[in-house]
Structure 1
């Protein structure tokens, strides 16, 4: 029986983050939009889409939230428990990290120049 992804390990410049369940990775590439008119689909247009990583990290005393917010030109590895690995090159933080005191997490959203399967 095939294993289905259930966990992910995320490393930024070699440092493993205490990632909570539910991390998502959009590997980016090309999106397509249908072009319609006169009740018909005439074709489609392509648009480039940057990769995006969205995750929650356990908030501990040793987690430097300012460091997370200042990340640029980082190397990020997204490793699934099924053995697949994706490398985000020249990654950067998109939004300021948000600390949630109710569940002890920090929200992190990143993008990158590219995302490659390794």
Structure 2
């Protein structure tokens, strides 16, 4: 029996983010296909490239460098599953500035970049 994906470890240029359980998401990107339909039905499709996205919620504590996170551009972001798969998004940038929330000490981060490669 194989191990199922349950946890994700997200790293930005090798530094592990303090991600919260169950919040890691990967959209590997790739190619989006749009159907082309004529009077007689399906004729084929067109393609366009789609960027990758990696998202998670992180804990914000005294060691969290929010300014450095906000400057993230042209980075390598790794999404490692506890089931063994590893995905790398190159040329990644933070999509929106980090906005920490008081009370629960967390913030959401989303990185965008080139389509993911499986390592």
Q: Normalization by structure 1: what TM-score?
A: 0.89
Q: Please name the residue that 2:24 is paired with.
A: 23
| Deviation by residue 1:32-75 (Cα, 9 ceiling, x = unmatched) | 11122437222211110011111111111110112111101112
- Decide which moves more: 9-18 or 28-37: 28-37
- Where 2:18 maps in the other structure, the secondary structure is coil
Which structure 2 segments of 5+ residues have no match?
A: none
Residues 1:106 and 2:119 aligned together:
no
Going from structure 1 to structure 2, the CA distance change for 1:102 and 1:37 (only over 3 Å counts) comes to farther
SS at match of 2:67: helix
CA-based RMSD:
1.6
1:52 aligns with 2:49: no
Q: TM-score, structure 2 length as denominator?
A: 0.89
SS at match of 2:100: strand
Aligned residues: 118
Residue of structure 1 equivalent to 2:95: 94
Q: 1:13-37 deviations in whole A, cap 9, x for unaligned?
A: 1111101122111111101111224
Runs of 4+ in 1 over 4 A off after TM superposition: none
Name structure 1 gaps, 5 residues minimum: none
Whether contact under 8 Å (2:89, 2:115) holds in the other structure is: yes
